[in-house]
Amino acid sequence: MKTVTVSLLAALALSGGTAVAAPKPKAKPVAAAPALASEPVEVQAAALRDAALKSDVAYDFVAQMTTRFGARPAGGEAERKASEWSVEELKKMGFQNVHLQTFPLYGWERGAESIEITAPFPQKLVGTALGGSTAGVADAEAVLFETYQEFLDSKADVTGKIVVILQPMARASNGSGYGRMSGSVRSGGPGVAQKRGAVGFVLRSLGTETDRFAHTGATTWSDGKGIPAMAISTPDAEALRRILKMQGKGEAGPLRLRMASGAKFLGLGQSQNVVADVVGTEKPNEVIVMGGHIDSWDLGTGAIDDASGLGITMAAAKTIIDSGLKPKRTIRVVFWGSEEVSQPEGFGDAGGGKFRDAYRDNLSNFIAAGESDFGAGKVYAISLMPTEDKTFLTKLGNVLYPLAVYIDAKAVPTGGVDSGPLHESGVPAFDLEQDGYDYFDVHHTANDVIERVDPAQMKQNVAAWTATVWMMANTNVTFTRPEIKK
């Protein structure tokens, strides 16, 4: 109750209300921001939280990004133009030290592609090539496996055949069903199939819906020496499973597929991170990092993956800039380049790794790093590395509880693809855990468009980031630093 009362007063002050709104009228009547500036950090955080709940900045940013640039494949022209445009926008918004960090990247591009059943029941399927896979035509008998493990365990001769994996992905609010499969069947499946003599590889899309969309995603970089590898939509995988059953009963003959992929390897090009600061007034060397990735798969417009992550973290910082309050520590917003890629073995990291490398000498001053790369749904918990500062946790909890967000003391934050390299180098991660129950209905499909973003949920998300980052930037909190691995 206390939190609500205080936050209402502070929000009034923040929105330009009169000095009457200031809870402690000890000073003479002043403008809104200075009144708030003298309040305790948790009162400020609550006011910022409530301002973020009213802000359309994140949603508008996603609309702009997806409308102006559409899909933004890693290392491509749209990604570069979107990055250059972002630099100008962030400067206009009042960010400081706004700049690009460029780095080399091997490019891959989808070409014309198709997949169809040629026997026993000829028909077209909805499928799409995996990123980093090789072009070619495979016209052959298909061998179906219910699960990836079944394929790995099987002694079946797949020489000259197309391997098809029908395993469905588990739906889980925290997205855990995805990690278990993207790192195994999608990354490794095509290479294993090729080693066993297969001429093509097909997997059921790593998606949780039954809409007829194929979900792309990166497989291990094949350098044009692999076999065609595709994901088919979940309804098409179900159709193949029915055929498998019919074969078992002697009601259908051998299944034949024809897959054609015109994927191209573009050689060595360039990608870039966008970096923007709100410079700290007292301890500018101490840095809180947050961001998302600016590249996207080519099928949709990358609204949920991951223009939303850019919008959410940028809007959190902009809410702070617009309040007139100044953080004591530096808040650094990053639009990481080229998250959605595999690269040749031994080539090195893409955006997240290059960002870490650029700040090697100051990483011991990085207080915490978080990324938003799980759509625009509601935040329900926050996980942090351990801290001695129990007051910080109490205050942060009080600011977040009205948003229906709790502090998840059991979870160990590790960051994602982009902030993970920082974590590996000793920077504490923090994760704002989102409800991703339907995230993989859309992820990496042509259906990843702004219509899948819920503006109200997105505002709650921005509010949670805003309050959390303000609390980190304006206290002396430090977190247990993870072991340095790289």
The residues binding Zn ion (CB under 5 A) are 305-306, 373
CB of 339 to Zn ion, least distance (A): 6
Contact (Cβ atoms closer than 8 angstroms) between residue 408 and residue 173: no
Contact (Cβ atoms closer than 8 angstroms) between residue 313 and residue 376: no
Buried-state track 419-446, b at ≥16 Cβ within 10 A, e below 16 = bbbbbbbebbbbbbbbbbebbbbbbbbb
CB of 34 to Zn ion, least distance (A): 40
Please tell me what DSSP assigns to residue 100.
Answer: E
Q: Could you give the 3-state DSSP secondary structure of residue 190?
A: helix
Q: Which is nearer to Zn ion, 298 or 306 (CB)?
A: 306
Contact (Cβ atoms closer than 8 angstroms) between residue 127 and residue 253: no
Q: Which is nearer to Zn ion, 277 or 298 (CB)?
A: 298
Q: Which is nearer to Zn ion, 305 or 349 (CB)?
A: 305
Q: Which is nearer to Zn ion, 105 or 325 (CB)?
A: 105
- Residues 154 and 246: their CA atoms lie apart, in Å, by 21
- Residues 111 and 101: their CA atoms lie apart, in Å, by 29
Contact (Cβ atoms closer than 8 angstroms) between residue 55 and residue 319: yes
Residue 161 burial class via C-beta count within 10 angstroms: exposed 0-12, middle 13-18, buried 19 and up? buried
- Residues 366 and 462: their CA atoms lie apart, in Å, by 22
Q: Which is nearer to Zn ion, 349 or 373 (CB)?
A: 373
**Sign, Cα dihedral of 306, 309, 312, 316:** negative
Q: Which is nearer to Zn ion, 176 or 391 (CB)?
A: 176
- The two tokens of residue 36 are 């708030």
CB of 250 to Zn ion, least distance (A): 45
> How many CB atoms are located within 10 Å of the residue 362 CB?
11
β-bridge pairing 136-145 and 162-165 = parallel
CB of 418 to Zn ion, least distance (A): 8
- Residues 4 and 36: their CA atoms lie apart, in Å, by 16
Q: What is the CA radius of gyration of the chain?
A: 24
CB of 85 to Zn ion, least distance (A): 20
CB of 306 to Zn ion, least distance (A): 4
CB of 460 to Zn ion, least distance (A): 20
Q: Which is nearer to Zn ion, 308 or 475 (CB)?
A: 308
Q: Which is nearer to Zn ion, 50 or 371 (CB)?
A: 371
CB of 123 to Zn ion, least distance (A): 33
